[in-house]
Structure 1
Amino acid sequence: MSTNVTRDTFDQVMVPNYAPAGFIPVKAAGSRVWDQQGREFIDFAGGIAVNSLGHCHPELVATLTEQANKVWHLSNVFTNEPALELATLLTETTFAERVFLCNSGAEANEAAFKLARKYAADHYGADKHEIISCTNSFHGRTVFTVNVGGQPKYTEGFGPNPAGITHVPFNDIDALKAAISDKTCAVVIEPVQGEGGVLPATQAYLDAARELCNQHNALLVFDEVQTGVGRTGSLYAYQEYNVTPDILSSAKGLGGGFPVGAILTTSEIAKSFGVGTHGTTYGGNPLASAVAKKVIEIVSRPEVLAGVRAKHQRFVDGLNAINAKYNVFKEIRGMGLLIGAVVSDEFAGRAREFLKAAEAHQLMVLVAGLSVVRFAPSLVIEDKDIDEGLARFDAAIAELVAANRT
């Protein structure tokens, strides 16, 4: 395998805003990844919940190849068949009547928040512009989305910050009641906080949020960038809770590894995005749209969604068995194949050490904050890969514990 570039090359030529792992993957299939030295890794990270069908899924490869031989890009001066087919499928499988296509989760959320403010201005006037979000939430890295996100560390040095954004504790109904008013244009919630620690919303909280938005003529926005497209065991997490938002953002798993994003909404709300009000050059790209349509078709298969639920239990049982041996986690939480292992007080703030230990045992995992190890594997990961990956994780933790407790 080629080694013309190495991990050291990153430090020489890339902007230093990332600290990537010490190996470079060069080939992948399913839930297995090989690096430049030919070492085989098991992938429990899924490109941060992006590779919904694993690596190089044959149906996705065939779809992309077919579209690549037709048309790559046209812009939104024109339309194209794959974009229209994807939008049609999304309206057929969700609450949505209208779809806006873009390129990423941040773009989807940017569009969602702009649409919420525009709709409020159109119907209630400029004073109705306030957005309520949750502490520890994450909605993207644009200036707008990073401020709607509830993690101040991501806004430091990028001020002045946009006005009219309030944060309340997640799952705190009383705090939401106290914050919402007739000036609120939108309440923004992740059904499962991803970057904030893989923390699911309670049923009561989402029910209350829906009712409060109804009372105050505010829009309920669900950020399903990480939870969408089968990740929780339903096509979208709102279906798990039976709470329907007014706007939903989707990305990550939507393209199965190909960059794409979308917002889903109703016809009435969509009217506020008239011609020229918002746009994106690459949004609705034929390549991305063709792949995303195939992803939705595959993930929507009953056996795939049922498999997510079964694999969730296999993961949780395996993690609990590991914890029974080493007592390093104080909670295993999440939904479907978005799972968080909260480290014990002994390892508080040190979740990244688990990631590094796993890497040494050729296992790819994630963190969610400082104290949660996160797992977001392929939705169709084979049971043998789950078992082998957990065995490697067991060995990694044994080594970490031995070093820590001697």
Structure 2
Amino acid sequence: MTQFHQNSAAAGLLERDREWLLPVYARFPIVMERGEGVYLFDTSGNRYLDMMGGLGVNALGHAHPRMVRATAEQTAKLVHLSPQYCTPFAGELAERLCALSGMQGVFYSTGGAEAVEGAIKVARAFAAEAYGPHKHRIVSLLGSYHGRTMGSLAVTGQTKYRDGFGPDLPGVDFAVRDDIASLQAAVSDETCCILIETVLGEGGVYEVSHEFLAEARRLADRHHALLVLDEIQCGLGRTGDWFAFSRTGVRPDVLILGKPLGGGLPLSALLVSGELFHALGLGKHGSTLGGSPLACRLGLEFLSVVEEEGLLARVCDTGSYLREHLEALARELDIAVEARGVGLIQALELNVPGRQIAESALEQGLMLNFVQGNVMRFLPSFLLERQHVDTAMEIVRPLLRKVNAETAAAELVLASR
């Protein structure tokens, strides 16, 4: 196994991990020690340009001074408290999120999957109370990803994640993304909600069309169902707007947020319209660690940093610049299928496996992420600048050209046989 320039101490730590941690992640054999801005540093003294951003969590990079200061100040006061008591920050953060989104109420959880579970419960509880228990079906999209708890897994439109864990939660139907006829066929008077990732992230970075979202809104209204938008990955500034749905003209009944919200601490938010404010009912839902004083304090700081440092504009500028480079590679290389994305959620789809490319980039100090095995996905920090994109492309471009040449040579050999 490649050691990626790791010293003997790091090798020992990696061996301990292999002995004691369940092998559910295809980890890269590197021991990270600290971060600074858009860079990470390992225990062996190597530096890496981080284009993964903690899978979208580290929107402010690593060790942002304001986040560090807020963490230290709040940790010295209060870290956790039973959700049966109030602290200054949960309500203030909820008010700000609602002001930005146009929603009317918030429930906090720890992670995105937990928030999806809450959304399912809201939809079914509201439908059962208003129309009866028969109205319980959920429409989701093929290719979607909503989490790995049993409920969120059941509404994830990728069988590879559900295999071996059945039977699934009953009452789930799947439609094809951007296929309006497919959506119309899936939605009925038994549908309690239509669940859509505004931008499919793990599914390969596909922005759902405005027309499809508009039809989802129309069908939800017609069948008295809720429109639930999952913006765990694409929300909170990732697209260059606070929310990906903002540019579509479509408003959800339920909005799910997470990833960067807690500044690196576990925090997700389930936002609902006013009609749904009391849908769950007293004592029928909860999250022991959701909305902790520390996480909500960091959530407020995150929103303030994005606003005061003008990071939405930077996301648009740097994202467009990254997209230009990816489109150029797509035109140049036979192994490149398509460049797509918006803001700083971008992708380059290849027709070859990506793991070896990611490993080769890592050896040169660049952290890349592949989804679906062959889609190079970029979820970098909002602090990313054009110069960082240039640095990344100086590594990516030669690697892809090399793989492109090797693939072409192999195809010639096969053709000559």
Partner Cα distance (2:166, 2:227) in 1: 27
The answer for the alignment partner of 2:154 in structure 1 is: 147
The answer for the alignment partner of 2:311 in structure 1 is: 304
**AA of the residue aligned to 1:161:** D
Judge conservation of contact 2:71–2:298 (CA < 8 Å) in 1.
yes
The answer for the alignment partner of 2:216 in structure 1 is: 209
Offset of 1:354 from its aligned partner?
Answer: 2.5
**For 1:224-373, what aligned pairs fall within 5 Å after superposition?**
224-301=231-308, 303-344=310-351, 347=352, 350-373=353-376
**For 1:65-214, what aligned pairs fall within 5 Å after superposition?**
65-214=72-221
Tell me, yes or no, if structure 1 residue 37 matches structure 2 residue 40.
Answer: no
Matched residue of 2:281: which SS?
A: coil
Matched residue of 2:168: which SS?
A: coil
Identity of aligned residues (%): 36
Partner Cα distance (2:40, 2:343) in 1: 23
Deviation string, structure 1 residues 81-125 (Cα, Å, up to 9, x no partner): 111111111111111110001100001111011111111111111
Judge conservation of contact 2:231–2:243 (CA < 8 Å) in 1.
yes
Tell me, yes or no, if structure 1 residue 380 matches structure 2 residue 383.
Answer: yes
Partner Cα distance (1:34, 1:93) in 2: 35
Partner Cα distance (1:256, 1:224) in 2: 16
Partner Cα distance (1:50, 1:307) in 2: 17
Worse-matched range after superposition: 40-49 or 1-10 = 1-10
Structure 1 residues 373, 302: CA separation in 2 closer, same or farther (over 3 Å shift)? same
The answer for the alignment partner of 2:415 in structure 1 is: none
RMSD in angstroms over aligned alpha carbons?
A: 1.6
Deviation string, structure 1 residues 37-61 (Cα, Å, up to 9, x no partner): 1111100000111111111111111
Give the paired residue count: 402
Partner Cα distance (1:213, 1:312) in 2: 33
Structure 1 residues 323, 6: CA separation in 2 closer, same or farther (over 3 Å shift)? farther
Q: What runs of 5+ residues in structure 2 fail to find an aligned partner?
A: 1-6, 410-417
Tell me, yes or no, if structure 1 residue 22 matches structure 2 residue 33.
Answer: no
Structure 1 residues 300, 121: CA separation in 2 closer, same or farther (over 3 Å shift)? farther
Judge conservation of contact 1:360–1:396 (CA < 8 Å) in 2.
no
Offset of 1:383 from its aligned partner?
Answer: 2.3
**AA of the residue aligned to 2:194:** V
Deviation string, structure 1 residues 339-386 (Cα, Å, up to 9, x no partner): 011114xx2xx1323222221221111112122110010012122222
Alignment TM-score, normalising by the size of structure 1: 0.95
Matched residue of 2:296: which SS?
A: helix
Matched residue of 1:116: which SS?
A: helix
The answer for the alignment partner of 2:14 in structure 1 is: 7
Judge conservation of contact 1:187–1:213 (CA < 8 Å) in 2.
yes
Offset of 1:400 from its aligned partner?
Answer: 3.2
Offset of 1:36 from its aligned partner?
Answer: 1.7
Deviation string, structure 1 residues 13-34 (Cα, Å, up to 9, x no partner): 1011111112121111111111
Offset of 1:328 from its aligned partner?
Answer: 2.8
Tell me, yes or no, if structure 1 residue 394 matches structure 2 residue 397.
Answer: yes
Offset of 1:240 from its aligned partner?
Answer: 2.0
Structure 1 residues 133, 323: CA separation in 2 closer, same or farther (over 3 Å shift)? closer
Tell me, yes or no, if structure 1 residue 48 matches structure 2 residue 51.
Answer: no
Matched residue of 1:6: which SS?
A: helix
Matched residue of 1:283: which SS?
A: coil
Offset of 1:303 from its aligned partner?
Answer: 2.5
Offset of 1:182 from its aligned partner?
Answer: 0.8
Structure 1 residues 203, 35: CA separation in 2 closer, same or farther (over 3 Å shift)? same
Alignment TM-score, normalising by the size of structure 2: 0.93
**AA of the residue aligned to 1:157:** G
